[in-house]
Structure 1
Amino acid sequence: MGSFFKMFFASLLAMIVFALIAAFLIVGFVGALASDEKPEIADKSVLTLDLSQHFMERRQNNPLAVLSNDDNAIPGLYDVVRIIRHAKEDEKIKGIYIIANSNNNAFASSEELRNALQDFKTSKKFVIAHGDMMSESAYYVSNVADRLYANPVGSVEWNGFSVNLLFLKGTLEKLNIQPQIFYAGKFKSATEPLRATQMTPENKLQTVEWLGDLYNHFLVKASQARKIDTATLHQLANTGAIQDSKDALANKLVDGLKYDDEVKDEIKKNIGIGKYDKLHLVPISTYAEAISYKQSGSNRIALIYAEGNIVDGDGDKENIGGDAFVKLVRKARLDKSIKAIVFRVNSGGGSALASENIWRELALAKADKPVVMSFGDVAASGGYYIAAGADSIFAQPNTITGSIGVFTVIPNMKGFFNEKLGVTFDGVKTGTYADMGVDRPLTPAEQNFMQEGVDRIYLQFKQRVAQGRKRDIAYIDSIAQGRVWSGEDALRIGLVDKMGGLEEAVACAARMAKVTDYRLREFPESRSWINELLNKNEDQPAAMLKQHLGEENFRIYQQMLEIKRISNGAQAKLPYQFIIH
């Protein structure tokens, strides 16, 4: 009996302690959430932009930040642009410090950051950048700085761009899996990884051209910033002349070689504080919480962010669910207080059916109010499909777009199941084609059905583009064929209307709606903190996998998963996932 009471009271004590701790955490959590106290920005502060931070289209909330010292949220790309614009007029912000090591933002996103920094400089406030091991993509943004420094024993990457593609044909052959592929458009090379061991001539041609456009734009911007002609910059890359930071200084790619502490001392001197005084470096995310940077007004303009693969159904926050985005557009269309719609696309496409449904709802919206498209890093295939009917389309010179084509894949898994796993299939059917699936090869008639379906969707795709761009279908066919274009070329051939970022697209929508007093209503709307907390665990497996595999290997893993996804129906999708080095 004595031992029973010991165990009973020990368990009771443990429960009480646990309840007290839980109550303490809940009170602290709720109290922190309830508090509307904003961070204080000290006088003579310097805004810090770390390019290694990936700024997605939408703000990324951290529901557990209130219990830690972490930032509450990572601003979205357009948030960062607006934050920098606010800092330009903020007397407490004396300049911007760019940490320029790696850059986890693609080139069109980097263009928006670079343009915002260029505008900030018109305030006569300083912009200083420093990198220990500076990548070319980081250099692209940071060369806009008044002074650009590299670590004395660091490096500045300067060797040009390359694209590496992953081919799985040999792997499928070893597994005895036969990809049955149907596509429309001679440049539509999305299925190349499954049917070839190297790039086809058509794919190599288009890749050489759009990659060359991106590289030329990079060289032009560097030339303007560093006052070095593009031929010299190109020669430096071709000869491997830049091997370390000393080479970069000798060839005037940077302004000096300094360690981090020396750069901080220079910043202190610039803002007029002593060597031993505290330097207030304010991260973008902290500054975002401290200020009100969003425009206010009586009218509304809807801003809809569409980022990720286009998928059937509702999807999730990582992709563009056809059903979910139809509802979002419809909500904005039927809201009389919303005077225009800006639709931001950052997608290589996906489901042709979901793309058609979103296109349809945007077409209905266009009949009621202006619809303006803004292209991010990628707006290709299905990403272009949904945009084709807009009143106006904005892109950056280094946006990847076009890829007007369709494909589908039906893998024949019979050999794999039979010979690798020892699995066989048998059954009965009431119709000739009732058992069409992946456990046997398609018959010639079934192959014809698949190709005819792809051709039919491809024709519909071209018709949507021809209607939206006010061109005849023969011309659209000549620039379609699944071909990928840079934003610069897309402007030349009429697939986009103007060069510019999201800020320019919003201004255009306001002009078309004839409103000057407006605020943005952004969709999808942020989830409540409790929903963010409950859904946080959904993201953990992928995050852990990404951490262990690394960024590039995780992309390869995603591409393997994509093979399974593209077997579910006709796809209007970018030819491949490319990694620019």
Structure 2
Amino acid sequence: MNLYDSFINKLFSSNLLQIELEGDIAEETDSISIPFIQIKKKPTVWEIEKTLTHVANNDYIKCVIVKIRDLQIGLARAETIRRKIYEVRKSGVKVLTYLEGSGNAEYLIASASDKIIVPPWSTLNLIGLKAEVVFLKDAFEKYDIEPHFKSVGEFKSAVETFTSNKMSKAHREMLDSLLGDLFKQLGLSISQGRNKTPSSIEKIIDNGPYLPEEAQSNGLIDLVGYEQDIYTEVQKLLDKKIKRIDIDRYIKLLNIKDKIRSLVSVFKKDAFNIGLLTDTGMITPGDSKGRGRSKNIGHNTTIKALREVYKSNKLKALVYRVSSPGGSGLSSDLICRELENISSKMPVIISMSDVAASGGYLIALGGSKIMADPFTLTGSIGVFGGKINIANFLKRFGVNIESVSKGKNAMMFSPTKGFSESESEKIVDMMKDLYDKFITRVSEARKLTKAVTEKSAKGRVWTGNQAKELKLIDAFGGIHDSIKLAASEAKIDIKKVIVRTVKKPKLFDLSMLGKNFGFGSIYDDYIEKFNMLSKEDVKTLMPFIINIK
């Protein structure tokens, strides 16, 4: 054993890894810093993947404890973590999960464990999937608010939120197809860890929710007990003294290992760098702002980071991880173009998270290959545009607005009037042109005929599983799988890869100071994003007021 290996072995001397999962599990570390204030950072999806991959491929850790409490993540992120836990389990490492409060995402992750323990007063809310859609037409009529929206693509149902009081036939068909495919995948994934058939899992879900004893008799959990009982189970498995390490500490050791390896490679020339850039949120003009679930993808910020990647001679490939329902069509196109430029120089693998639809999918077309999870929501190849007329609403409060304009269409996008017939025709023509550009872009990037692309477009949202069948994506997998594909495309050995996080320009946003301490609402951030998007006539955004659980 050489000096390097000996040192690494001393670093990883623990035999029990503990992971706590609660709330949101972010895709990226917040780049906004607040001077003099320490905010504890939770592990990202990539850091969890990286840790579990290391555990599965080494002999240091003999047992893993996972504690899961109420999560605020999509099924794609949950499935990514589940697969890695199952990989650890198959490597021979025992995995025990303490499940405190459980829905679909929580149980999906837990199902990969050797044993699941739940407390006596908990409820296993494994009851299936639902999609609830908000419609505002009746409320708008009540308050004299007039929506004026147009869309291209019969399934581009984002405008229905404002113009209808119920689902259209196409909208319902799309949601029924999405939920049907996701439900089938949920049963398939859970069955893998619980040694049951997918059909039996579906039947069990139909009879939920479950109290602990019922869940145990149906083979969904293994023990009813409290948090401290999980350590008793660990003691039975480990014949040595327990040396526990939390995931935060494990991540720090992995980072130290990478830095040492990077230094050694300067002399040995035996390591290669792959960049990892992560973006989350609605796509907007300008800079990226916000933190956590209120982030946006500002094209200025992303483009600056991508141009640094293009100029770098140290990277052999790039993995671009994206989670976005879309937004600004212009901003999406500009980011896509930058990715295309990098793709001409090195492999660019797009890794889709919970959602990468409409503008999020347009961005993905700039990569060499696209990977997604079967649970990912993607597609939504379509456009919509319009405005809301609030003139009569303002009159209710004694507010009158007068205007002076020059130019026939100067008031076209004013929120105090509707569209004239000629203005309405103009915006429809614009949307048809941009829709055709979108179809052409997809056809060229995915090497499909326009006729084939049109069948999978029309604004329809697809699961990752459906998207693969339609050839809208290339393969299934999470971030680590995308890195392996990037290494393969770059013709380098994955064992010699060092993953470098691509840093984005930091922005100190004073408005976030209050929100970090509860003096603000996430809705303030959405209003700000809509204000940014209102400056653009046509948008590439999936039906966003949809909640699938």
Report the TM-score range of the alignment, normalised by the length of the smaller protein.
Answer: 0.7 to 0.9
Change (3 A) 1:181 1:361: same
Correspondent of 1:57 among 13, 22, 27: 27
Map of 1:265 onto structure 2: 232
Counting only pairs closer than 5 Å after superposition, residues 495-506 of structure 1 correspond to structure 2 as: 495-506=472-483
**Residues 112, 526 of structure 1: CA spacing in aligned structure 2 closer, same or farther, 3 A cutoff?**
farther
Equivalent in the alignment of 1:291: 254
* Aligned-residue identity in percent: 26
Instruction: State whether residues 176 and 415 of structure 1, in contact with CA within 8 Å, keep that contact through their aligned partners in structure 2.
Output: yes
Give runs of aligned pairs for residues 155-174 of structure 1, distance below 5 A.
155-174=123-142
Could you tell me whether the CA contact under 8 Å between 2:129 and 2:548 is conserved in 1?
yes
Superposed counterparts of 1:208-287, under 5 Å: 208-240=176-208, 242-272=209-239, 281-287=244-250
1:354 match: 331
Task: Give SS of 1:182's match.
Answer: strand
| CA distance 1:267–1:390, change in 2 (3 Å) | same
Q: Secondary structure at the match of 2:406?
A: coil
Which residue pairs with 1:520 in the alignment? 499
Instruction: Look up the equivalent residue of 1:232 and give its one-letter code.
Output: S
Q: Look up the SS of the partner of 2:147 in the other structure.
A: strand
Query: What does the per-residue CA deviation read over 1:220-241, in whole Å, with 9 as the maximum and x for residues that have no partner?
Result: 122222222333322233234x
Per-residue CA shift, 1:511-570, capped at 9, x if unaligned? 22222344333223485xxx7xx65x5324444559x97xxxx5x776666654543321
The aligned counterpart of 1:117 is 85
Q: Deviations over 1:371-407 (max 9, x none)?
A: 2211111110000001124221111111110000111
Change (3 A) 1:67 1:273: farther
Q: Take 2:37 and 2:328, find their aligned partners in 1: how far apart are those partners? A: 40
Letter in 2 for 1:497: D
CA separation in 1, counterparts of 2:321 and 2:232?
Answer: 41
Q: 1:64, CA displacement in angstroms? A: 7.9
C-alpha deviation, 1:180, in angstroms: 0.7
Instruction: State the one-letter code of the partner of 2:134.
Output: L
* Helix, strand or coil at the partner of 2:166: coil
In 1, distance between residues paired with 2:15 and 2:98?
A: 18
Amino acid at match of 2:26: M
Question: Following TM superposition, by how much is the alpha carbon of 1:467 offset from its aligned partner in structure 2, in angstroms?
Answer: 0.6
Residue 538 (str. 1) matches residue 508 (str. 2) = no
What is aligned with 1:18?
A: none
Specify the alignment match of 2:111 in structure 1.
143
**Contact residue 301 and residue 504 of structure 2 kept, 8 A:** no
Q: Tell me the secondary structure at the aligned position of residue 314 of structure 1.
A: coil
- Contiguous gaps of at least 5 residues in structure 2: 1-9, 266-270
Distance 1:61 1:565, change over 3 A: closer
Aligned mate of 1:452, from 411, 429, 444: 429
- Whole-angstrom distance in 2 between the partners of 1:335 and 1:209: 43
Q: Which of 398, 401, 412 is 2:378 aligned to?
A: 401
| Maintained 8 Å contact 1:409/1:566 | no
Looking at structure 1, the residues matched to 181 and 62 of structure 2 have their Cα atoms a distance apart, in angstroms, of: 36
Q: Which amino acid aligns with 2:19?
A: L
Q: Distance in 2 between matches of 1:338 and 1:291?
A: 20
Mean CA deviation greater in 508-517 or 184-193:
508-517
What residue is the counterpart of 2:407 in the other structure? 431
Render the CA deviation track for 1:399-431: whole Å, top value 9, x for unaligned.
1100001111211121112x2222223233332
CA distance in 1, matches of 2:406, 2:36: 61
Counterpart in the other structure of 1:100: 68
Q: 2:157 aligns to what SS in structure 1?
A: coil
Q: CA deviation at 1:353?
A: 0.4
Of 395-404 and 439-448, the range deviating more from structure 2: 439-448
- Tell me the CA shift for residue 359 of structure 1: 1.4
- Output the CA distance in 1 between the equivalents of 2:99 and 2:429: 54
Change (3 A) 1:48 1:315: same
Partner Cα separation in structure 1 for residue 204 and residue 364 of structure 2: 40
1:308 aligns with 2:281: yes
State the match for 2:534 in structure 1. 567
Quick one: distance in 2 between partners of 1:143 and 1:45? 22
Mapped to 1, the partners of 2:355 and 2:116 lie a distance apart of 29
1:421 aligns with 2:394: no
Q: Residues 53 and 47 of structure 1: is their aligned pair in 2 closer, same or farther, counting only changes over 3 Å? A: farther
Match of 2:28, SS?
coil
Q: Which residue of 2 aligns with 1:32?
A: none
Q: Compared with structure 1, are the counterparts of its residues 559 and 172 closer, same or farther at alpha carbon in structure 2 (3 Å cutoff)? A: farther
Change (3 A) 1:200 1:67: closer
Name the larger-Rg structure. Answer: 1
Task: Confirm whether residue 378 of structure 1 aligns to residue 355 of structure 2.
Answer: yes
Superposed displacement of residue 185, structure 1? 0.6
- Cα RMSD (Å) of the superposition? 2.7
Task: Give 1:10-25 correspondences, 5 Å limit.
Answer: none
In structure 1, how many angstroms separate the alpha carbons of the residues matched to 2:406 and 2:148? 24
1:3 maps to which residue? none
Q: TM-score, normalising length from structure 2?
A: 0.88
Call closer, same or farther: CA 1:218–1:415 in 2, change over 3 Å.
same
**What is the alpha-carbon distance in structure 1 between the residues aligned to residue 546 and residue 524 of structure 2?**
13
2:307 to 316, 330, 335: 330
Q: Secondary structure at the match of 2:286?
A: coil
Alpha carbons of 1:49 and 1:66: their partners in 2 closer, same or farther (altered >3 Å)? farther
SS at match of 1:496: coil
Q: Distance in 2 between matches of 1:488 and 1:525?
A: 31
- Could you tell me the TM-score, scaled by structure 1's length? 0.83
Change (3 A) 1:140 1:451: same
- Pairing of 1:6-45 with structure 2 (within 5 A): 44-45=14-15
* Residues 123, 211 of structure 2: 8 Å contact kept: yes
**Greater alpha carbon shift after TM alignment, 101-110 vs 178-187:** 101-110
Whether the aligned pair in 1 keeps the contact of 2:117 and 2:225 (CA below 8 Å) is yes
Hey, what's the Cα distance between the residues in 2 that align with 1:431 and 1:132?
63
